[in-house]
């Protein structure tokens, strides 16, 4: 992270482009302000009831049923509800924040993937995201999509760092949180583990 910040300071054009992308993404998502996907209301209800110690239920006194598939997102909303922030008030700003962060992560992922790590081609990734309607819609939907993309991007970047230079296995924590955010996170975690294992064996290191 510090290395990326140093690079942005050394090459201001990258920072300028990322800031413009952030403004475009915010404006894009703002056009959908006040709009929520139906399932978001279910998450808000569960979060409110968890925060009010009613249990993991859709309404007070209801039977405990598995009505959500994004427990980490609901847990986050429950914590914020305890702080006085209702899901309808905070979900969209959170989605917007995660969306902006994802632009920077997209740049870092593209930069790591391109043969010319020092070139400006990686800036295409955040530009395309910022103008993408699907990205704006789902970031502003009130659901966990922005958080899921953020965790997945961090997990990939951390896995890449660990297979190249070692360090604490923090990627596994990211994949765990990813699986708690959406069920398909388990599949990404399996792919990440396989990637790490194959790369480690290719380098002649044993699996520990």
SS3 letters across 3-42: HHHHHHHHCHHHHHHHHHHHHHHHHHHHCCCCCCCHHHHH
Going by C-alpha positions, the residue among 53, 55, 59, 52 that lies closest to residue 84 is: 52
**DSSP H or E stretch at residue 74:** helix 71-82
Q: What is the DSSP string of 164-191?
A: HH----HHHHHHHHHHHH-TTHHHHHHH
Global pTM reads: 0.87
Place of tokens 């230079």: 165
Mean pLDDT value across residues 128-147: 93
Mean pLDDT value across residues 189-204: 83
Please give the Cα distance from 82 to 74 (Å, whole number).
12
Q: Would you kindly state where each structural domain of the chain is located, as residue ranges?
A: 2-143
Grade residue 193 by pLDDT with cuts at 50, 70 and 90. Answer: confident
Instruction: Look up residue 143 and give its two tokens.
Output: 């659901």
Grade residue 132 by pLDDT with cuts at 50, 70 and 90. Answer: very high
φ, ψ of residue 62 in degrees (nearest 5): -75, 165
| List of residues 6+ apart from 10 with CB closer than 8 A | none
Q: Are 157 and 171 in contact (CB under 8 A)?
A: no
Residue 6 has a pLDDT of 60
φ, ψ of residue 102 in degrees (nearest 5): -65, -25
Residue 157 has a pLDDT of 92
């Amino acid at each position: 992270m510090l290395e990326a910040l140093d690079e942005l300071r050394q090459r201001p054009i990258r920072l300028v482009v990322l800031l413009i992308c952030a403004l475009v993404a915010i404006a894009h998502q703002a056009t959908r302000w006040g709009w929520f996907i139906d399932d978001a209301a279910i998450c808000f209800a569960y979060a409110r009831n968890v925060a009010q110690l009613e249990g993991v239920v859709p309404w007070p006194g209801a039977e405990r049923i598995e009505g959500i598939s994004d427990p980490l997102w609901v847990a986050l909303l429950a914590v914020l509800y305890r702080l006085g922030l209702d899901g309808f008030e905070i979900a969209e700003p959170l989605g917007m924040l995660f969306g902006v962060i994802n632009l920077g992560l997209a740049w870092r992922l593209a930069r790591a993937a391109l043969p010319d790590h020092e070139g400006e081609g990686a800036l295409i990734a955040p530009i395309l995201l910022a103008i993408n309607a699907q990205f704006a819609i789902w970031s502003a939907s009130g659901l966990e999509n922005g958080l899921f993309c953020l965790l997945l991007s961090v997990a990939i970047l951390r896995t890449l760092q660990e297979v190249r230079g070692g360090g604490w296995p923090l990627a596994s924590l990211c994949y765990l949180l990813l699986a708690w955010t959406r069920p398909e996170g388990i599949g990404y975690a399996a792919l990440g583990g396989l990637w790490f294992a194959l790369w480690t064996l290719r380098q002649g290191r044993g699996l520990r």
